Amino acid sequence: MAPDPLRSKIVRTFKLHGLSLRSEGSTYLQSLLREADTSEADEALSRIIDVLSNLNLPSPVVDKTTLESAVSECNDDVQPENSDKMFNVVDIFNTPRYKYNYERKKLLPDTAPKSLFGCAADKARITKDRYWLIMQRTQRHDLFTPPVPGAISQSSKFVLQTVEQVLGQQGEHKHTIVLAMLVQIEEGKYFLEDSSSHMLCDLSAAKFHVGMFTEYTFVLAEGSYDDVNSVFRVTGVGLPPPEPPKITRNYFGNTNFFGGPSPTCVSSVQVLRDIEREKQDTMFVFVSDVWLDQQTVLNKLKTMFTGYSKHPPFAFVFFGNFVSGQSHKNTVNKMKAGFKALADILSSYPTLCSDSYFLFVPGPQDPGPGPVLPRPPLPASIVEPVTKRLARARMCSNPARVQYCSQEMVLFRENLINKMCRHCIKFPQRSEELHVHLAKTLLSQGHLAPLPLHAMPVYWSHDHALRLYPIPDLLVIADKYDAFSVSATDCLLFNPGSFPKSNFSFKVYLPAQKKIENCEIAT
């Protein structure tokens, strides 16, 4: 029997691009392209290959499931009114987990089970995975890439060494740079630790650069090893350089590391970028510390809703705490009453109820399973008055991940500046504002909680849900600290500030312009 020409073309096209197609996959493509003419089939195959090339495939062998995802991406006919594609709130407990494979130089899906109550192996994996993500990123930075043979000047290049390599150079007193984690293995003594070994370090003469340096922070330590006293004498401490998301994508393709329904990164979908540019008037309103038990706060929210009623924002994002004060005996009852009062107010604004999304992110003092991150959404029994009346209400986890068109947003309600300062080995130099130090630290560490687990507990098998890698387009840190905004490494980072404590100020984000606006409700 003569071979099917279409099947031969499919197999040949995949082979030309270094891919191998399983038999059920080729049969699936045959059924799809059977009625297409030659030019249409060639164009369809080309688009499918492009999508597969942008995926971080664990193997060159393509199965039917992967192929169906690629075909679905090619057939994506997103329309402006299709909010399912434009806007998604990601389930933080189902975000994809990837692990860096040093031998293959790739980020591969981590198939280890994710239990809420992790085992010892999950705890050990936290620091190891963080280390390799930062190490592979730092190694390809311009400052640390290997010298190019024949280049005129290599004076700006540095060589990264592991702790084990430094310990093996005893007697040479070589000046070197080590990427390692700061940790107290013995009380009152700091060590530099990486995947190879650990060594005692002397920070007394060290110059600390911009950033907040706490235990469990991965640092670039510059200095030399004193083999007589068995100590690494540090002269300078800095943070590993962050990596713009475009560079990350160049190395790992458009795999969706963020989560959500799309198999590829949403920034690679042209139709979403087009919609984003067209909707110049789209707004996200961010309000933190929405104390629903305070009548003054409810009155100011009503004033806000009145102002936006004629031009509804795309979304209101409300951060907790949703009850004032540190603790209350009747917190749950007060929250129920507060959400009912909020629902009553919103019922007077039908345009907002029908056109705007309402996102609620719990705060540190709100009812829940405790201070361990990530926190699940607010209990359904408390927010029922709002969810019953607002079809577009979304109860988010903390942190929350939100996708709007081609942009990825991370929303986090935590008093981070206070916690980071409290655990700093050396208080940041005030030549820079504290929020600049915070932004530099978070983006450098690629993580929302670069603190010891006793200071900021994390579910061991869900630590990946707090990663900032690749760096998102927008990072909102809702902190009780003064409002701020800063742009770094292709990321906008801002704090809306405490609504009741800052003269009822809040922030508005314009995605089409990637711009932050400061707003305040006049007293």
Summarised one tens digit per residue, pLDDT across range 318-347 is 999 999 975 566 889 999 999 999 999 999
Tell me: pLDDT of 173 over 60: yes
Omega of the bond leading into 240 within 30 degrees of 0 (cis):
no
DSSP 467: B
Give the least confident one: 142-146, 288-292, 296-300, 493-497: 142-146
Give residue 76's pLDDT: 57
Tell me: pLDDT of 263 over 70: yes
Q: Do 51 and 112 belong to one domain? A: no
Going by pLDDT thresholds of 50, 70 and 90, the confidence category of residue 259 is: very high
Q: What is the mean pLDDT of residues 70-96?
A: 73
Lookup result for tokens 């208080």: 427
Give residue 70's pLDDT: 80
Q: Do 200 and 118 belong to one domain? A: yes
Domain assignment of residue 53, yes or no: yes
Domain count, the chain: 2
Domain assignment of residue 320, yes or no: no
Task: From 381, 268, 383, 369, select the one nearest 318 (Cα to Cα).
Answer: 383
Give residue 333's pLDDT: 93
**Nearest-angstrom CA–CA distance, 500 and 475:** 22
Q: And the tokens for 171?
A: 């007697």
Q: Do 135 and 249 belong to one domain? A: yes
Q: Do 110 and 247 belong to one domain? A: yes
Give residue 2's pLDDT: 56
Give residue 79's pLDDT: 47
**Nearest-angstrom CA–CA distance, 291 and 289:** 6
Give the least confident one: 13-22, 82-91, 260-269: 82-91
Q: Do 244 and 111 belong to one domain? A: yes
Omega of the bond leading into 3 within 30 degrees of 0 (cis):
no
Give the least confident one: 48-62, 101-115, 407-421, 480-494: 48-62
Q: Which of 74, 95, 111 is the last residue of a domain?
A: 74
Give residue 271's pLDDT: 86
Q: Which of 235, 253, 271 is the last residue of a domain?
A: 253
pLDDT in tens, 435-480: 999 999 999 999 999 999 999 999 999 999 999 999 999 999 999 9
β partners of residue 264: 255
- 302, 307, 308, 309: CA torsion to nearest 10: 80
Q: And the tokens for 303?
A: 């004033």
Q: Which of 232, 253, 274 is the last residue of a domain?
A: 253
Q: What is the mean pLDDT of residues 16-26?
A: 84
Q: And the tokens for 69?
A: 């995802």
Q: Do 67 and 113 belong to one domain? A: no
Q: Do 111 and 229 belong to one domain? A: yes
Rounded mean pLDDT of the chain?
90
Domain assignment of residue 446, yes or no: no
**Nearest-angstrom CA–CA distance, 73 and 270:** 11
Task: From 1, 22, 520, select the one nearest 11 (Cα to Cα).
Answer: 22
Q: What is the DSSP string of 272-327?
A: HHHHHHH-TT--EEEEB---TT-HHHHHHHHHHHHHHSSS--SEEEEES--SSSS-
Give the least confident one: 136-145, 221-230, 428-437, 474-483: 428-437
Domain assignment of residue 90, yes or no: no
**Nearest-angstrom CA–CA distance, 233 and 199:** 11
User: Which CATH number covers residue 141?
Assistant: 2.40.50.140
DSSP 471: P
Q: What is the mean pLDDT of residues 158-174?
A: 84
Q: Do 171 and 249 belong to one domain? A: yes
Domain assignment of residue 202, yes or no: yes
User: Which CATH number covers residue 37?
Assistant: 1.10.8.60
Domain assignment of residue 21, yes or no: yes
Going by pLDDT thresholds of 50, 70 and 90, the confidence category of residue 15 is: confident
How many Cα neighbours within 13 Å face the side chain of 140?
A: 12
Going by pLDDT thresholds of 50, 70 and 90, the confidence category of residue 388 is: very high
Domain assignment of residue 64, yes or no: yes
Instruction: Say how many C-beta atoms besides its own lie within 10 A of residue 230's C-beta.
Output: 11
Lookup result for tokens 């359904």: 380
Domain assignment of residue 162, yes or no: yes
Tell me: pLDDT of 14 over 80: yes
β partners of residue 486: 493
Give residue 61's pLDDT: 86
Burial (CB < 10 A; 0-12, 13-18, 19+), residue 523, is exposed
Q: Do 166 and 33 belong to one domain? A: no
Q: And the tokens for 416?
A: 């981070």
Q: And the tokens for 189?
A: 């003594």
Give residue 75's pLDDT: 66
Q: Do 130 and 232 belong to one domain? A: yes
Q: Do 108 and 247 belong to one domain? A: yes
* Domain assignment of residue 239, given as a range: 103-146+157-253
Give the least confident one: 222-231, 304-313, 323-332: 323-332
Q: Which of 40-54, 61-75, 423-437, 483-497 has the highest mean pLDDT?
A: 483-497
Going by pLDDT thresholds of 50, 70 and 90, the confidence category of residue 148 is: low
**Nearest-angstrom CA–CA distance, 340 and 319:** 17
Task: From 404, 92, 461, 97, select the one nearest 266 (Cα to Cα).
Answer: 404
Q: What is the mean pLDDT of residues 278-304?
A: 97
Q: Do 121 and 219 belong to one domain? A: yes
